[in-house]
Structure 1
Amino acid sequence: MPKPNKYLLILLVTVVAYVLFDYYRPKPIDWKPTYRNDDKIPFGTQALFELLPDVMKPLSVKPVRLPVYNFLTETDLSTRSNYLLVCHDLTIDRSELSKLLAYVKRGNNVFISAYVLPDSLGIALGFKADEKNQSKADTTLRQNFTNSQLRKTSGYNFFHDDGRNFLIIKKPQNTTVLGRNARNEPVFIRIQYGKGQFFIHNLPLAFTNYYVLDPKTSDYAFKALSYLPVLPTYWDEYQTQGRFDEDQQSIFRYIRSQPALNWAYYLVAFGLIFYVIFAGKRTQRIIPVIEPLANTSLDFVKTVGRVYFQQGDHHNLAQKKIQYFLAELRERYGLNTTTLDKDFTETLAQKSGASIQETADLVRLLRDAQKSISLSEFDLLTLNKAIENFKQSEPGLS
């Protein structure tokens, strides 16, 4: 019976131990804002999604996992409806915006709550989503409705928000301000568009589990959504979850979505790499010695040099000439050719036996050519002649 490989055993024990440790340890609270309707974490939206049908009765709220364009072109929308989007960053292209505008113009309603809104949407509807600089951040900033029947005396504080986002109205004739912050800046507006309405809100944290379930702020989301007429409502999840449901995901996608499995995947992958590196060295067979091919680089260099010269690329040819010459000096004399200064000149003259004047003239030409951004044919020929003369004075380089 073959002896089990100790490296594989160590790897297997490590993976199993880590998975068990990660599975049984207390899970820390995940404060990442996902705005997903199936997330129970503080900044998911499962609570609102599950409670909203009670508000919209007797009509249901249907989740949508399609891009805006696909949803509006592939879905039967013969009856009026509401389209709800809650996310951090709303991403739509021109074709999607065109369909969205047409959808509202026919008498439907779109409710958008996002921190980042596309400029194209703002230009079309006459508003701009802006943000103050970091020095103006204020987590104690209060929000409230302009409608006296919805206003709360003390206002609403969403202290996980830094209070920097607000809206600028550019077409007041079609716009109604529904909510402002304590700085009197609009944060919730209604825009009449054709027969329908756009509701623009730029504090999506207000619709998350944390604030929907907090008694101090629990009514805010429902008051904001009360502006929507009682119609069939579509809840967009494409902006937060993408197109595929969990039952449509591949095994690999599921593994990557679970932190413990994702770490186990990386441990296995890196473990196999280490096994190949370290264990493979012990078992690999002797590598046969292969004779190197004959050196034909000299003919190649001459051919390339002629091509550069014929094309008039004198500067490029000169730089390569300098590189090869300096490489010869390094190999022949062990010189450091990084800096072509006075010390280099004196050392080269001593080791090559050439005169100090001849060496200094050559080094000066090399240095000037390296600094030049363009060299003429005359410069190239002068440089080449100086190098060839120097080689002829020193047998080792000729």
Structure 2
Amino acid sequence: MPKPNKYILILLTTITAYVLVEYYRPKPIDWKPTYQNDDKIPFGTQALYELMPGIMKQSSIPTTRLPIYNFLTETQLSTPSNYVFICHDFEAGATDLKKLLPYVQRGNNVFISTYDLPDTLGKVLGFKADLQDPTKADSTLRQNFVNPGLRKAAGYNFVHDDGRNYLVIKKPERITILGRNARREPVFIRVQYGKGQFFIHNLPIAFTNYYVLDKKTSDYSFKALSYLPALPTYWDEYQKQGRFDEDQQSIFRYIRSQPALNWAYYLVIFGLVLYAIFAGKRTQRIIPVVEPPTNTSLDFVKTVGRMYFHQGDHDNMARKKIQFFLADLRERYALNTNLLDKEFIETLAQKSGVSLDEASELVRLLRSAQKSISLSEFDLLTLNKAIEKFKLSEPGFS
């Protein structure tokens, strides 16, 4: 009996070990926001969807995987009823709005929680979804309800969302503000349209598993949905999962259904097996490639910086940023950075060549940061922007 090829045995053992390790190792948490009602990940909506029948006082909540136009045209709906959308982007074309607006006008209700809304809908209802620059992010910004009976004394903080976006009211006579952020900007409104109502909310992450199951924010979604009357309610999944169900979306299922693609699939598998058998045998010694040594100092600094930023240690990172910047000033201009006074500002402006106003503003930010007890993400971004601007203004600064 011929002796088995040791390289094939090593290959098979390695593949088997890899498969077993991958199968049994704990899967990392998926933080991707899907808003899907069948996702148990932090930013899915399975928890809320399973609790919805109790909220709306009905045995079950039907889901729809049809576009708005098709659903309102082809489905026999209860009258009146509620239509709920919780998604990242609400996409509704002209044909969809031609059906959605009359649906509400007849006395039905639509609840939409999303970041991005079409301008066409906003123009009709009298508001605009204001999407702010990401540099204005503030992860500490709190939300709250206007109704005293629903308000929470400390407000609601959704730390995975910076809360910088808000709704701009264009027609206040037909709009009721139901929720605001800490800057008094509207984030949840009710728009009376005909006999029905639109409820527009711009923080869909508040309805995900993470916040519905967190004691600090668990009641927020239920309070927001309590504005909907207890009527037959339909839950949209088309905006998140598309029109077809999981089986219909399977690429493998489509490949097996097509004769040409099916043969191509078997040929690929057969070719891979032949390659593993015949090409796996070593024919000559591999000459290793010796890479020249690289300077990894900059990569190390960037990695440490990202680690601080992703851990949310903005205060520590901001203070180190100030220390390194002042050290650069001492080394380059022989300045005494112990006292950031008027004399220091004038000397810095003269030696660096920047304007006195720019030097004054930079020093003001540095003094303010040093005196602060705790620095937020917004403070870190503002300080970094000012330092980078100074470096660009001063010729030769590195």
Alignment TM-score > 0.5, same fold: yes
Residue equivalent to 1:370: none
Contact 2:58 2:232 in 1 (8 A): no
Hey, what's the Cα distance between the residues in 2 that align with 1:212 and 1:126?
30
Structure 1: which 5+ runs fail to align? 256-264, 281-398
* C-alpha displacement of 1:19: 2.8
Does structure 2 retain, via aligned residues, the 8 Å contact 1:137–1:163?
A: yes
Corresponding pairs, count: 271
Q: CA deviation at 1:132?
A: 2.1
Partners of 1:179 and 1:210 lie apart in 2 by 21
Alpha-carbon distance in structure 2 between the residues aligned to 1:15 and 1:102 = 59
Match of 2:60 in 1: 60
Letter in 2 for 1:250: S
Could you tell me how far 1:69 is from its partner in structure 2? 1.3
C-alpha separation in 2, matches of 1:86 and 1:271: 46
Match of 1:184 in 2: 184
Aligned partners of 2:222 and 2:64: how far apart in 1?
Answer: 20
- For residues 285-330 of structure 1, the C-alpha deviation after alignment (integer angstroms, 9 at most, x for no partner) is xxxxxxxxxxxxxxxxxxxxxxxxxxxxxxxxxxxxxxxxxxxxxx
Aligned to 2:154: 154
**Pairwise CA RMSD:** 3.2
Show the counterpart of 2:49: 49
Q: Structure 1's 270 and 136: CA in aligned 2 closer, same or farther, altered over 3 A? A: farther
CA distance in 2, matches of 1:273, 1:171: 68
Decide which moves more: 19-28 or 194-203. Answer: 19-28
Q: Tell me the distance in 2 between the aligned counterparts of 1:96 and 1:3.
A: 69
SS at match of 1:177: strand
Q: Tell me, in whole angstroms, the C-alpha distance in 2 between the residues paired with 1:199 and 1:233.
A: 14
- TM-score normalised per structure 2: 0.62
Are the equivalent residues in 2 in contact too, given 1:89–1:117 (CA < 8 A)? yes
Alpha-carbon offset, residue 220 of structure 1: 0.3
Larger Rg: 1
Alpha-carbon separation, structure 2, partners of 1:145 and 1:231: 23
Matches within 5 A, 1:250-269: 250=250, 252=252
Q: Secondary structure at the match of 2:147?
A: coil
CA distance 1:216–1:7, change in 2 (3 Å): same
What is the correspondence of 1:271-290 to structure 2 with a 5 Å cutoff? Answer: 272=272, 275=275, 279=279
- Structure 2's unaligned 5+ residue stretches are 256-264, 281-398
> Normalised by the size of structure 1, how large is the TM-score?
0.62
* Other structure's SS at 1:18 match: helix
Name the residue aligned to 1:84. Answer: 84
Q: CA deviation at 1:102?
A: 1.4
State the Cα distance separating 1:94 from its structure 2 match: 1.0
Could you tell me which residue of structure 1 aligns to residue 201 of structure 2? Answer: 201
Partner of 1:32: 32
Report how far residue 18 of structure 1 moved: 3.1
Task: In structure 1, give the amino acid aligned to 2:30.
Answer: D
- Residue 107 (structure 1) shift: 0.8
Listed one character per residue, the Cα deviations across residues 78-126 of structure 1 (whole Å, up to 9, x for unaligned) are: 5211000001111121101111111111111100001111112112211
Q: How does 1:1-398 map to 2 (within 5 A)?
A: 15-58=15-58, 60-250=60-250, 252=252, 272=272, 275=275, 279=279
Shift of residue 49 of structure 1? 0.4
- The verdict on how the C-alpha distance between 1:56 and 1:274 changes in structure 2, with shifts beyond 3 A counting, is same
